[in-house]
Amino acid sequence: MGDSPRSFLAERAGLIDASGIRKVFDLAAKLKNPVNLSIGQPYHDTPGPLKESAARAIRAGWNRYTPTHGRPDLVEALTERIAETVSTEGKELIVTSGVSGGLFLAFATLINPGDEVIVGDPYFVSYKQCVRFFGGTPVLVDTYPDFRLTAERIEPRITKHTKLIITASPANPTGAVLAEGELKSIAELARRYALLVISDEIYRSFSYDGPAPSMAPLYENTMLLAGFSKSHAATGWRIGYAFGPTCIIDEMAKLQQYSFVCAPAPAQAAILEHLDLDTDPVTKAYRRKRDLICEGLEGKYEFTKPSGAFYLFPKAPWGTDAEFADEAIRNNLLILPGSVFSERTPHLRISYSAEDSVLERGIEILRQLADRGR
């Protein structure tokens, strides 16, 4: 007999785990009408005018490859917007297949085996897994209980092997928004140790207690990653962008030629027409939903009120996160154990990106589950 197909796998494939998020998505497909508070995407459909623009672009023939960096007019428009607050000297922009695509290209371009990458814990799942995939070592900085990644917490973890710091504000899964002073302190630390900062700002439109500051104006060696999946309710369109030092962006573009090739052409055309989409009504709706779930779980759960994104990260009132999430699933409620995003196990990630009726049902089930452990 020949070798098992498993013997052909590259060693790097074993360095990453299947996403716990996807496991819950698969489970959701098997349940009948579940109360789903696990999904990390907007609860509403893509706005009609945006969909019409995409359809118009398809009919007009925008169905071929675009330049690797993206449509020149879209690249120019995005660069002009960034230039309002950030110096573009020695910098460049590339349109990517979502922020996840930008992260993948950045990590592939920057990480050598043995390089260390500073990541706040809790973290977005891709950070840890993709750093490991490319041979790097994620150095996890504990940010409990307030979920704030600070220079004071980072500095003791820096070694001669440290190359990158990843910041995410507003953050998934905690909803934490870093203050400008906190970002400045991280920028000063990165400058002192000659580190690159990758700033994930995909949720920047969703900041409820004041604007979310950006790292890009504060530190010259910042790789800014942002996009339109959340703000434009277009997660399946895969339109993001990376802005940073030209020498890095050019190498990312070289790699994009041989991987993603380009971001979807019709979606690029539609996004270009709607860069000025008014997201304030959606932000206000999410602020109200945040307040609704926080008020609904007050006294039953221990949590830090999130300032951005659309997630609550409370402590499980009894058991481990996995035990509680499993019991929730048995009650037709989908939430995620916090250990999907962390080395710790006491928390849960609850998405309040849901219709009010679904959110209210979820709150009621969560309150009932909390009482079972009393």
Mean pLDDT estimate for the chain: 95
* pTM recorded for the entire structure: 0.94
Domain of residue 76, CATH code: 3.40.640.10
Per-residue pLDDT at 30? 75
> Does residue 240 lie in a domain region?
yes
Q: Which one, of 239, 306, 289, 270, lies nearest residue 97 by Cα?
A: 239
- Reported as a single tens digit per residue, the pLDDT across 117-130 is 999 999 999 999 99
Are 81 and 157 found together in one domain? yes
- Reported as a single tens digit per residue, the pLDDT across 59-69 is 999 999 999 99
| Last residue of one domain, picked from the residues 253, 273, 293 | 273
Residue 365 has pLDDT above 70, yes or no: yes
> Does residue 58 lie in a domain region?
no
Q: Which one, of 222, 214, 162, 168, lies nearest residue 196 by Cα?
A: 222
- pLDDT, average across residues 233-240: 97
Are 71 and 201 found together in one domain? yes
| Last residue of one domain, picked from the residues 258, 273, 288 | 273
Are 86 and 158 found together in one domain? yes
Are 267 and 243 found together in one domain? yes
- Could you tell me if residue 335 is left (phi over 0), alpha (psi between -120 and 50 degrees) or otherwise beta? beta
Are 226 and 94 found together in one domain? yes
Residue 177 has pLDDT above 80, yes or no: yes
> Does residue 53 lie in a domain region?
no
Domain of residue 326, CATH code: 3.90.1150.10
Beta bridge partners of 242: 94, 225
- Reported as a single tens digit per residue, the pLDDT across 308-353 is 999 999 999 999 999 999 999 999 999 999 999 999 999 999 999 9
> Does residue 214 lie in a domain region?
yes
- The answer to whether the peptide bond before residue 122 is cis (omega within 30 degrees of 0) is yes
| Last residue of one domain, picked from the residues 240, 273, 306 | 273
Residue 362 has pLDDT above 90, yes or no: yes
Contact 183, 218 (CB under 8 A): yes
Per-residue pLDDT at 25? 66
> Does residue 175 lie in a domain region?
yes
Per-residue pLDDT at 1? 46
- Reported as a single tens digit per residue, the pLDDT across 96-111 is 999 999 999 999 999 9
Per-residue pLDDT at 374? 58
Give the confidence band of 6 by pLDDT, cuts at 50, 70, 90: confident
Are 108 and 140 found together in one domain? yes
Are 238 and 360 found together in one domain? no
Residue 21 has pLDDT above 70, yes or no: no
CB-based contacts of 50, cutoff 8 Å, min separation 6: 232, 234, 270, 271, 273, 274, 277
Longest C-alpha distance within the chain, in Å? Answer: 65
Which structural domain range is residue 125 located in? 64-273
Are 103 and 196 found together in one domain? yes
